[in-house]
């Protein structure tokens, strides 16, 4: 409510400070989870007032580059390296949007499963198997099972070797995660889904790209059928 | 450099003000290009100090929801309605990332061309034709031609009827726009590309989904070949 005069931060200056913080993260090779220097140290380095620095950091926080932990400091977030992200201001999804997302996954994921069967290294496939082990041990835990299952899809997507498509898939899953979690917890056959995931893993590990594609196509159609029935219920 | 004490804006308050601005835009049915009330009016409505309001607006600006025009006001941006956006903090693309993006387009756009031939209304196809007319009149103008050509791809993507995939395509094109513009201006055969676009339009308008898919696949392979040659040069 106050109209106290405030130092006006010029747009150009704010852009510049934002860019310099990003350059610092890259030049220093900071990784997700690493802490940035203190606000005071950064202000002195960039010769700007701390409110300006703080505003630049808030902007980077809003766009997923850093995380400001109260009383602890500012940390690099994994999202910094993404090309594509979901809109933090997005509306809640309606049923039609949810089905659009699933249809998009039906186009992309069978392609990724096929490519993973061709391109993934054995070590990567061990990671995928470990993912499924976790899911198998969490069949009675709604939240842990959902996260492990979605990680199976995300990890398989990365093993295909196309960074853009893997990030697209990550974004599609991020977008419908909340709605899917709710629906699948109520309506999915979790034992069946787990066995289908194991069959997809076996096809990828067995270097059977056509089979991996087919199983993924069928699996995602099943998921869509479950969601359609849930939306109708 | 100053260490002047500043009013500390609580995180929770900032989140809340950001959400309330978004709710205001939605509840009032504000469209892209519409102006928000003045900062003073919004501060009074939300019972917050103007610096807090300004910080929330800057956050919304950083995430593409609004645009702050100096001396004019705050305007709604089209990006607000997007589900997926590109990371404003992304690195410059290297050659491998550019090829990943093109491969992603090769998976998605033939599917969209096929769906557009099935689903687009005649009025929508007129819009697409108007797009190509503009490109045809700009064959000698690098920037205008590139924009018109990319709008052809974006518009066709929207006509397929899947909002998620159309936005994925928009993001892929946004991501490589700068690099593509440079390469295609130097290396592409613009008359040939224009005729291929016309052929794709004719297939979509003629309701020939299989042909539309095939022509788009061939076209994007050609584009990739041009980019590969340019990267090697």
Contact B162, B103 (CB under 8 A): no
CB-nearest partner of B87 from A51, A82, A107: A82
Contact A70, A56 (CB under 8 A): no
Written as six digits, the tokens of B153 are 């791809």
- Judged by CB atoms within 8 Å, which residues 152-211 of B form the interface with A? 162-165, 168, 171-172, 175
| pLDDT of residue A232 exceeding 70 | yes
CA distance B225 to chain A (A): 18
Q: Do A82 and B90 touch (CB under 8 A)?
A: yes
Residue-level pLDDT at B11? 65
Question: What percentage of chain A reaches a pLDDT higher than 70?
Answer: 95
CA distance B96 to chain A (A): 9
Residue-level pLDDT at B15? 87
Nearest CA in chain B to A21: B89
Residue-level pLDDT at B12? 83
CA A216 to the chain's CA centroid: 20
Q: Give the C-alpha distances (Å, rounded to integers) separating B142 from A12, A114, A194, B173, B190.
A: 29, 39, 53, 17, 10
Q: Do A1 and B47 touch (CB under 8 A)?
A: yes
| DSSP per residue, A138-197 | TTT-HHHHHHHHHHHHHHHHHHTS-HHHHHHHHHHHHHHHHHHHHHHHHH--HHHHHHHH
Burial category of A112 from C-beta neighbours within 10 Å (exposed 0-12, middle 13-18, buried 19 and up): buried
Per-residue pLDDT reduced to its tens digit, A85-120: 999 888 888 899 999 999 999 999 999 999 999 999
Q: Do A97 and B171 touch (CB under 8 A)?
A: no
Q: Do A65 and B89 touch (CB under 8 A)?
A: yes
Cα radius of gyration (chain B): 22
Residue-level pLDDT at A24? 94
Which residues in B lie closer than 8 A to residue A64 (C-beta atoms)? 87, 89
Average pLDDT over residues A107-134: 96
Tokens 């992309």 belong to: A108
**Average model confidence (pLDDT) across chain A:** 90
- Which residue out of B95, B104, B173, B227 would a mutagenesis test of the A interface target, given it has the greatest number of A Cβ atoms within 10 Å? B104
Listed in order, strand segments (DSSP E) in chain A are 66-69, 73-76, 84-86
Average pLDDT over residues A194-202: 97
Contact B229, B187 (CB under 8 A): yes
Residue A145's closest CA among A106, A197, A104, A222?
A197
Which residues in A lie closer than 8 A to residue B58 (C-beta atoms)? 14, 55, 58-59
Q: Do B83 and A89 touch (CB under 8 A)?
A: no
Residue-level pLDDT at B171? 95
Burial category of B31 from C-beta neighbours within 10 Å (exposed 0-12, middle 13-18, buried 19 and up): exposed
For chain B, residues with pLDDT lower than 50 are 1-7
How many A×B Cβ pairs under 8 Å?
Answer: 155
pLDDT band of residue A14 (cuts 50, 70, 90) is confident
Tell me the residue length of chain B: 233
Residue-level pLDDT at A185? 83
Give the residue extent of every domain in chain A.
11-81, 95-232
Given the candidates 1.20.120.530, 3.20.20.100, 3.40.50.2300, 3.30.70.920, the CATH classification of the domain at A95-232 is 1.20.120.530
- Which residue out of A89, A91, A224 would a mutagenesis test of the B interface target, given it has the greatest number of B Cβ atoms within 10 Å? A89
The class (CATH top level) of A11-81 is mainly alpha
Residue-level pLDDT at B7? 45
Q: Do B104 and A63 touch (CB under 8 A)?
A: no
- Judged by CB atoms within 8 Å, which residues 90-129 of B form the interface with A? 90-91, 93, 96-97, 100-101, 103-104, 107-108, 111
> Distance (Å, rounded) from C-alpha A98 to C-alpha A180?
8
Nearest CA in chain A to B110: A107
Question: What percentage of chain A reaches a pLDDT higher than 90?
Answer: 70
Q: Do B89 and A172 touch (CB under 8 A)?
A: no
Cα radius of gyration (chain A): 22
Residue-level pLDDT at B10? 64
- Say which range, A5-14, A63-72, A122-131, B6-15, has the weakest mean pLDDT: A5-14
Q: Return the number of other C-beta atoms located less than 10 Å from residue A165's C-beta.
A: 25
Per-residue pLDDT reduced to its tens digit, A46-92: 999 998 899 899 889 988 899 998 888 999 998 788 899 999 888 88
Which residues in A lie closer than 8 A to residue B101 (C-beta atoms)? 164
Q: Do A1 and B51 touch (CB under 8 A)?
A: no
Per-residue b or e along A127-155, where b marks 16 or more CB atoms closer than 10 Å to that residue's CB: ebbebbebbeebeeeeeebbbbbbbbbeb
């Amino acid at each position: 409510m106050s109209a106290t005069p405030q130092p006006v931060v010029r747009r150009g200056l704010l852009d510049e400070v934002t860019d310099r913080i990003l350059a610092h993260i890259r030049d220093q090779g900071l990784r997700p989870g690493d802490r940035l220097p203190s606000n005071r140290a950064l202000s002195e380095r960039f010769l700007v007032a701390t409110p300006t620095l703080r505003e630049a950091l808030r902007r980077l926080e809003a766009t997923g580059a850093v995380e400001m932990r109260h009383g602890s400091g500012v940390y690099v977030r994994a999202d910094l390296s993404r090309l594509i992200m979901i809109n933090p201001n997005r509306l809640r999804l309606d049923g039609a949007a949810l089905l659009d997302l699933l249809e998009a996954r039906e186009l992309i994921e069978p392609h990724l499963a096929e490519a993973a069967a061709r391109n993934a290294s054995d070590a990567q496939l061990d990671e995928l198997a470990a993912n499924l082990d976790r899911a198998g041990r969490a069949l009675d835990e709604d939240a842990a099972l959902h996260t492990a299952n979605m990680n199976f899809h995300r990890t398989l997507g990365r093993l295909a070797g196309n960074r853009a498509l893997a990030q697209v898939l990550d974004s599609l899953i991020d977008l419908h995660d909340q709605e899917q979690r709710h629906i699948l917890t109520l309506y999915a056959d979790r034992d069946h889904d787990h066995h289908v995931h194991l069959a997809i893993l076996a096809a990828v590990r067995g270097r059977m790209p056509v089979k991996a594609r087919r199983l993924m196509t069928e699996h995602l159609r099943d998921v869509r059928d479950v969601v359609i029935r849930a939306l109708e219920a």
